[in-house]
Amino acid sequence: MIFVRSIDYKVITCIGVTVSLMVYMYIGMIWNDGPLVLLSYHMDAIPYRRAPIFVKSTLNNTVIQMLRKKVGKKLKSKKPIQIFHSTVNLQDIKVNKTSESEISERAKSCALVGNSGILLNSGCGDLIDESELVVRMNLAKIGQEYSSDVGSKVSYMTINWEQLGRLKSCFTKKKKRKASSASELLKRLPAVCGTMIDRLGLLSNDTVLWPSRGHADMIFRVLPLLRKQFHLNFSLGINSHSLKDAAYRLWHLRAPSSGLTVLAPMIQLCDEISLFGFYPFYTDPYNRTILHHYYDPEARMNYTTNFHNMPGEYRFLLDLENKGAIRIINNCTPTY
């Protein structure tokens, strides 16, 4: 009898602990999603302990094929982005799924690089640059002091609606256009305009500037001046269909962010996708403070009330990783 009571006591204790943990996770989900996600299986913010060297997880090709088929039905095209080089006259750009313009072929390996401060001291730069195709978000700062953590290679650079509007406003007044040189023109512009020109200057002729959430007409208005005054000859990527609407229909998350919007066409354009710098929380599992943007200590974001519901998006991405559809990598430092 004593033995049986002992077993009962242990069982009851175990049940009590399990219920308490479930309640805690549920409360976390209701309040701000943070505890739920951090208690989940994902441990990329903690240095890898699986092996003395970095090991990439294995993807499930069957799951990827099913996901690609699902995305294809929503995008209605296997070539969702059309690429126009700087030699193409703006008047000659026609965007439709039968266009003869150059369109990206599927790449073997792709890196989708977010801007979270979780990448600082991650040592992921080389791994990112090894990818055949690298997509970066919203004119992020690359190279120089950030090379070891985020790399310097860029195939596509997205630009969001707010940045497009700011860029347009930089050159609306005619007096700003009459400068004799690029340096003189920059002196007349607000500092934020100079910063954007500097970021665009990091893009090579083969790099694609991509208004991934639409509003490409806004870049058309300033592109001739950018080419002439600042010799910015990057290529331009235009969506064949609305990627924002497609992402909403696919993922069923309100107001999908730039990262989630870009994920859909990448599934069409890439065999394997690795996500870096996607981490919408203020602290990591070591309770260290995480910057919103790795290159901007002043940038702030309220993750629980922001327009995009980023913790919810992160939980969705974790589910895709668990199924073997993508990789999420935020630390590439080997541990022993």
Sheet holding 81-84, edge to edge: 81-84, 235-239, 208-210, 156-158, 133-136, 107-113, 270-276, 327-329
Q: How far apart are CA 76 and CA 79, in angstroms?
A: 9
SS3 state at 82: strand
Q: How far apart are CA 210 and CA 158, in angstroms?
A: 4
Q: How many helices (H) and strands (E) does the chain have?
A: 14, 8
**Packing angle of the helix pair 258-269, 310-322 (nearest 10 deg):** 30
pLDDT, tens digit, 9 for 90 and up, residues 257-284: 889 999 999 998 899 999 999 999 989 8
- pLDDT at res. 144: 87
Q: Which of 118, 134, 107, 298 is nearest to 202 (CA)?
A: 134
Q: How far apart are CA 74 and CA 95, in angstroms?
A: 18
The one-letter amino acid code at 189 reads: L
Task: Yes or no: say if 170 and 196 are a contact pair by the CB < 8 Å rule.
Answer: yes
- pLDDT at res. 173: 62
Q: Which residue has the tokens 């996607």?
A: 278
Beta strands in 117-159 (DSSP E): 133-136, 156-158
Residue 97: is it exposed, middle or buried by C-beta count within 10 angstroms (0-12/13-18/19+)? middle
- pLDDT at res. 219: 85
**Following DSSP, what letter does each residue of 272-312 receive, concatenated?**
EEEEES---SSB-TT--B--SBTTBTT----TTTSTT-HHH
Q: Which CATH topology does 50-329 take?
A: sialyltransferase cstii, chain A (3.90.1480)
- pLDDT at res. 335: 55
Distances (CA, A) of 281 to 52, 62, 87, 105, 311: 28, 31, 42, 35, 8
Task: Yes or no: say if 37 and 318 are a contact pair by the CB < 8 Å rule.
Answer: yes
Could you tell me the pTM of the whole model?
Answer: 0.80
Give the angle subtended at the CA of 237 by the CAs of 232 and 243, to the nearest 5°: 145
Give me 234's structure tokens: 């990057």
Local mean pLDDT, 10-residue blocks, the chain (336 residues): 41 48 43 39 37 66 95 76 84 59 74 96 96 96 93 95 88 62 79 90 92 84 87 89 85 87 92 96 88 90 75 93 96 72
Q: Which residues pair with residue 239 across a beta bridge?
A: 81
Residue 194: is it exposed, middle or buried by C-beta count within 10 angstroms (0-12/13-18/19+)? middle
Task: Yes or no: say if 226 and 198 are a contact pair by the CB < 8 Å rule.
Answer: no
pLDDT, tens digit, 9 for 90 and up, residues 62-117: 999 999 999 988 886 656 788 888 888 877 776 654 444 455 578 999 999 999 99
Euclidean distance between the first and the last CA atom of the chain, given in angstroms as a whole number: 48
Residue 9: is it exposed, middle or buried by C-beta count within 10 angstroms (0-12/13-18/19+)? exposed
- pLDDT at res. 89: 80
Identify the helix (H) or strand (E) that includes residue 8. Answer: helix 2-31
Q: How far apart are CA 57 and CA 239, in angstroms?
A: 31
Distances (CA, A) of 44 to 90, 189, 331: 43, 41, 6
- pLDDT at res. 293: 93
Q: What are the structural domain ranges in the chain?
A: 50-329
